[in-house]
Structures are given as C-alpha cells and as structure tokens.
Structure 1
Amino acid sequence: MVNRERLQALETWLNNTNTTLTQVNGQRKYGGPPEVWDGPAPAARCEVFISQIPRDTYEDLLIPLFSSVGRLWEFRLMMNFSGQNRGFAYAKYGSSAVATDAIRLLHNHMLEPGFRLSVRRSTEKRHLCIGDLPASTRQEDVLQVLRMVSDSVDRVSLKAGPGIEGVSAVVAFSSHYAASMAKKGLVEAFKKRCALTVSIRWQSAEKPTTPKSLLLPPPPPPISPPCLLPPSAPPSFCRAVGGLPPSFLLPPSPVCGASPVLLLLKVCEENGVGPPRYELQFIHTGPDGFLHFSYQVHIPGVGVAFRGLVLVLPGLSASTTEGEARRAAAQQVLQDLCSRQLPA
C-alpha cells in the first residue's frame, strides 16, 4: 500500500523547493543537469548506486541527504507503477571525488530504524548483448534497428563461436542511461523492424576483437523490411567494368610469396598508366570471424575499374587489417587479369 502521508510530504517539499521531477520509463529523475549548473558534465566514476531504500521513501528525504555531500548533477529513483519505489536509486555528482565521499559518508547510513542504506560505486554499464540473431546478420542491419531507439551508440561488434546460437551483437552506448533506455525498447524494435524475437542482456565491457575504426561504418542507405538478409554478393568475386586495350601487357602468374600490391603496381608502371587506386569499405563480420570488405580498384589511363568482395581476418590494428584487405583485392585483380576474364 502507498503511504499517503509520505506522498503528501513529497508534494509539499516539491512545492516549497520548486524542484522538478521527470517520470521516464520506470524511474523518476531530478536534474541531468539541474536547472543551474556551472561546471562540466560528469565523467566516469561519478555515479553511486544506492540500495536498501525503504519502499515508501521518496526524493524529499533522499535528495537533501545526498546533496549534503556535494552538489548533485542527477538523481534517479526507480519506481513501480503502484507509486512505491523499487528500493534503489542512482546519484551522480560532478566529480569522482565527491562520489567517493558519498560512499564513505553515507554507506550504512540509517535512514530510519531498521533500514541502513547501501551506497557503492555504480558500474555504469554501457554494453548490451543482443542474442538470438540469425547467422546472416550484418552489422548495418543491427545499426538500423538501434537507430530506432537510440542516437547514443558508440560501437557495434558481432560475435559468433562456440556457445553462441547464431550471432550475437555487443553494443556500446555513450552512457549507462542511454543503454538502459535502449534496453527497454530493443526487443519490440526487432519485432517491428525484422519480425525477430531477440534476447537482450547486460554485457561486461570488453575490448573489441575487431579494430575500433572498422566497427561503425558510415550509415548505409535505408532498406525495406525484412532486414538481416544475407549479402547479395557471393562470398568472393571480382569483375571488371570497362576493357583493357589490346596492347596492355598482362602479368605472368602471380609469384608465390610476392606482394600482390607491389606486383599490380609494377604491371601498371610497365604499361605506362598511373598507379592503381584502391577504395575499400568494411561491410560486416561473418559468423566465422572473417571481415567482409567490398573494393574498387581503378586503373587510371585505361578506364578500368575492378569491383569485388574479399574476406580477411582481423589484424592487430585497423591499418594492418586494411592493408590485408588491399593485398587480397590486388590478388584478385591479378588473377582476373591473368585469366583474361574481363567482361564488358
């Protein structure tokens, strides 16, 4: 049962202090920032997690208590539809030092007889794991659904392997709040957009296995539902647009161990045309861990552009991975030249 006397005390406090609380998806928020704030936004480790709060205790007692340690940037009390709180809250300060003081001063604080607060550092989880995705899932498909519920996505990586059914996507958000808000709407978003039932859980922060610069390619053009379809291109291909002049000297069969990039450059030099120009674009990570790149290799002076798809394993950095994709593209162009498979 809701304590009417406590609710009246809260209402009186709100009126007397001119404090504004905002109800947002199962929580009641103060600040973020408050109306008057003259400092920078809080960085990491500035938030504390408060638990063991009596169910009929509200902001009229909690905000003044936690403000006594230092100025609050934000205070969020988790609420039930019944009007009672859910027993826990989050308080965010302007610095990690003030958050440390709140833990030291208010942990085990007796709010009322029989109730001692637990105050500890908030983990501020920012990673969600989206499970039960089809094996054909592409990174850009996941991004399109994420954009329906959040504009605060930092990174997306796809995972597959032993113990993982299909594909899982690990999503890093810019804040815990953004992640928690997205968590509430993602299941419905996947049902609406893709007719899929996915699982959503918190994921411990981890270093991505794919180079960070490759994890968020530029937003792709919109596609019509259903999404999560396999790429239209075969696993590996190379085709040329345009034709080579009859005088163009074709290379010998690629030498084992030779750099395809250097060999293709030498072919172009011997034919008196400019160096080949590479355009690479990361597409997605396959369930086997290979990174899929599309490429275009332009041979200037003769009007030929080779287009194709290559699969490479992640390197130690984005630059080494890109170099491997360039090497694979050059290899396919050389093979195409050698076989003279140059459809108009």
Structure 2
Amino acid sequence: MARPDLNLLVTLDVLLEEGSVTRAGERLALSPSAMSRALARLRRATGDPLLVRAGRGLVPTPRALELRARVRGLVQEAEEVLRPAEKLDLATLERTFTLRSSDGFVERFGPALVAMVGRQAPGVRLRLTRKTRKDVGPLRDGGVDLETGVVEHAMPPDVLSRPLFTDRFIGVVRRKHPLSTGKVTPARYASSRHVHVSRRGLTEGLVDEALRPTGRRREIVTVVDGFGAALALAKASDLVATVPERHTANLRRGMCSFELPFRAPEVTVSLLWHVRLDADPAHRWLRDCVIGVCLRETGTEGTDGQAREPEEPGPGAAQATS
C-alpha cells in the first residue's frame, strides 16, 4: 500500500478553513491550478468530493465536516512536534534522572548535588547508582542518563564526555598506624600490608606501576571492588589503602592521609552521556549542575575563582578522544 502524502493534511486544513480554492492557494503560496490539482488529489485519497459548488461558492460535504476538527488537531500536533522546544521551566520540571558513578562519588559530591537540584528544580528526582563495570550499554539503552568515570580509551562516537576534575592517589591508614607518624619512605610504604582496589579482581594497578621504578613492590594481602570497602578495612586494621584524594575526601574522615613517596598516579574523572540527550534542555541543565558541584567541591572553579549554579542550560561538550 502506497504511503499517503502527509503534506495534503495541511492543504486540506486550509481548504476547509477558507472554503475557497483561491483563498487557500493565496495562503499556501500556490497558484489556482496547483490548488485545483491538490484538491483533486485529496478527493482521490479520501474518496469524497470534500468541497462542492453551491451557487458561486463552495460548501463542505458531510465527510469534510467530519474531518475538519480531526485534521485541525493533527496539523496543530505536527506543528508542535516540529517547533523548537520551549524554554526550560525548572520550577515545574518533573523528571527522574539516573546517575551512575564509581564508589565514593556519591559520598563526596552527592549531598551538594542533591541540594543544588532541590533548590532549582524541586520536582526532579535523582537516582544515584553504583557502577560495577565499565560498559556504555546503560547509556545507550536509556537505563542511565549520566555517568562518571575515567576515560581510558577513545569513546564510541555516540557517547560524549566532559572532564570534571583530575585526581591523584594518596595513602590512607588508621590513626596510630606506624605510617601515621614519621617520614613515609618507599621502603616503609612497600613493606606495609596493603588493600588493593579493583573491580575486576586484579592484584596490581596504576599504583604498582608508579612504585616499580623505586625497585619496591607492595605486599597486597586483600583485594576489594571499591574505595569505601578499602578504607573501611584500613580504618579497622593495619592495612594501607591507596585511593584517589578528591574522590574519597568524605570517606577518609577520621583517618590519616599521606602523600605517596614516589610520583603519584593521576586520573581524570569525566562526565559521560549519550549523544541523543546532548540537546535536551533538562539534561543539559543537570550536566551543568554536576559540573558546577565538582568544580566547587574540588576547588577548581576556573579563572575567576567562582563556582556558580547554572541558570540556563549550557551547550553540549565535545566528544572525548582519550
């Protein structure tokens, strides 16, 4: 079956409103002959004369009167669909967003983010979930709106990202641990018992690569899948946890932190989202909220030293290349 020409709906709407081929043609910038051909096509499509002569004018048939309201509604809906989105009204916005992040992100940045969103858009609900593995599937299928993480490789073209902050690793021990006093040397650090963080269960990582030039190796006795678990073990034992400094600020309260006695590994935490949401005003606003909170909480506001709450949705960020 041939697909109907939907442009004829606009023509029919104007014809039924004007009741005149001439006036309808003037509104649509069509010649009388072009309008007559359009009316003929409409008659063939609907199987009805639609407009018939009555004296010197045209009158609608019962079928035309039946279609008038429906056609008007369809045309109006089409115009709404093709019209640019209206300005975002945060006061009336009602929507649930899912943000997936690594262990520690919610504890560090969640309170400020929830407070900012609550002030600006009381009807918005945040669903904060923990990332258990690296995959872009949830972003693609709509299960996740935003995600934070370290971009290790070039992202696929349908996933965009924006750097949030750079973090460096530090050592953390309980109070009164031997490493809580005195100078921490590579020998003292390496000879201690360590808890290592790896979602994939690996027994070495960036820290071990950075330590290797000193000729030392860590004694890793425990592997966990999150920073929170590593710090909990370190707080209750003589284990040493090596974790990102900014990411775990809240989790490290009540513990002793120290700089690593070798060149500390650094990672850049980024915000990721799917390209289909890039132009969505509400999604842009939430991205700006996350970015603003991270800048303020990590003290990396920018050249003017100000971390401002977003008032209007900002432009989409460029695609990550690393």
Name the TM tier (shorter chain). under 0.3
Structure of higher RCO (CA pairs closer than 8 Å, 6+ residues apart) = 2
Rg comparison, structure with higher value: 2
Instruction: Give the TM-score normalised by structure 1.
Output: 0.22
